[in-house]
A and B are shown apart, each in its own frame.
Chain A
Amino acid sequence: MLRRHPEPLLWMLFSAGGVVSGMLMPVLVLLFGVAYPLGVVDAPTYDGLRALVANPIAALVLFTLCALSFLHWAHRFRHTLYDGLQIKHLNEVIAVVSYGVALVGSGVAAYLLWQLS
């Protein structure tokens, strides 16, 4: 049984999301946002990328990246609302909305990756 509240689990997902997005997002943004469009390195072909995403391991990595990043955002957004706007009395609503958006986002990511496979 979790100790009285789910905070340790949510914090672990938040931490994992922070690490994963902090490590991988800058690389992806640099490649797809800067290096490929500016022709600094040769861009992969559409078919090549499509085949890559269809690989179950690549899809799993992308899904993990998306889901953990969403959960990282949700946790941080929730605490920002609590302390920044000082609306802790809306605790349940904020938690449902934040983690709910993260779960929906993860679901959409899973659906899109499944469509591409």
Chain B
Amino acid sequence: MAQRIRLQIARYRPEQESEATFDEYEVPYTKEMAVLDGLNFVKDRLDGTLAYRWSCRMGICGSCGMTVNGEPKLTCATFLGDYAPGPLRVEPLRNFPVIRDLIVDIGDFMRKLVRVKPWIVRSAEKPIAGGEYLQTPEQLEEYKPFSMCINCMLCYSACPIYGLDPKFIGPAAIALAQRYNLDNRDEGSADRMEVLSEHEGIWGCTFVGECTKVCPKHVDPAGAIQRYKLTAAIDSMKAFFAPRGA
């Protein structure tokens, strides 16, 4: 027998209202139902006008990040039963402009992500006949934790620095830059250094650590940033003492 939980869902319909309001819905739940299932119940049975993003339902696509009772969460991996009997508040991710209801504008993040070249950069590809680029398990382990990022932007929502200064390039972009910097097949770290060593790159971070706390994939962006600060500082000292790239 399903129990019931009350959901307070942020609504924002720009053609009707200038500020977000809350609508309350009561939905049945069982212990395996996630907050996303609750939203789907509302959309399918109670109010078809509710707008939100989702896709895979299994913590891989990174689409369903929202603010659940004040905390950034993947709604597919957050369970209704943990918040019973409610009311449970679902709001859009913080620090992003809201387009409609629970949908935020992620354009800023997408533009920043591209700037750090999150792909393997090589000056010359070897011919296909040359075979694969082999890696040892140790070389894989170097960058693997950072490769778990699913671009869900929970870290941007949790980061107080990004909230204060939207120019800050942000946790996931830096962690993803490190994912490629630490890959032994990659040759793009100098290009990324240009972007990351700007004031709005790593130096914007004051190591609050919220990004790591909320990351659903345990990526540790805060750790990535501090490690990169050391790399960049050493690089900068080298440039100071040996300006000709010696």
What size tier do the contact residues of chain A reach? 10 to 19
Chain A residue contacts of B233, Cβ below 8 A: 8-9, 11-12
Chain B residue contacts of A9, Cβ below 8 A: 233, 236-237
Chain A residue contacts of B160, Cβ below 8 A: 83
Instruction: Check A1/B243 contact, CB under 8 A, given A7-B203, A11-B203, A83-B160.
Output: yes
Counted as pairs of residues, one from A and one from B, with CB atoms less than 8 Å apart, the total is 41
Interface of chain A, main secondary structure: helix
Instruction: Indicate whether B133 reaches chain A with its CB closer than 8 angstroms.
Output: no
Contact of B161 among A2, A5, A8, A83 (CB under 8 A): A83
Count B interface residues, CB 8 Å.
19
Instruction: Indicate whether B195 reaches chain A with its CB closer than 8 angstroms.
Output: no
From A2, A4, A8, A79, name the one whose CB has the most chain B CB atoms within 10 angstroms. Answer: A8
Instruction: Check A7/B164 contact, CB under 8 A, given A1-B243, A2-B236.
Output: no
Instruction: Indicate whether B206 reaches chain A with its CB closer than 8 angstroms.
Output: yes
Contacting pair B164 A83 (CB below 8 A) = yes
Contact of B199 among A5, A15, A79 (CB under 8 A): A5
The distance in angstroms between the C-alpha atoms of A8 and B55, with both chains bound, is 41
From B161, B236, B240, name the one whose CB has the most chain A CB atoms within 10 angstroms. Answer: B236
Nearest CB of B to A80, in Å? 8
> Nearest 8 pairs between A and B by C-beta?
A8-B236, A8-B233, A7-B203, A79-B206, A12-B233, A3-B236, A3-B197, A2-B240
A residues within 8 Å of B by Cβ?
A: 1-5, 7-9, 11-12, 15, 79, 83, 86, 88
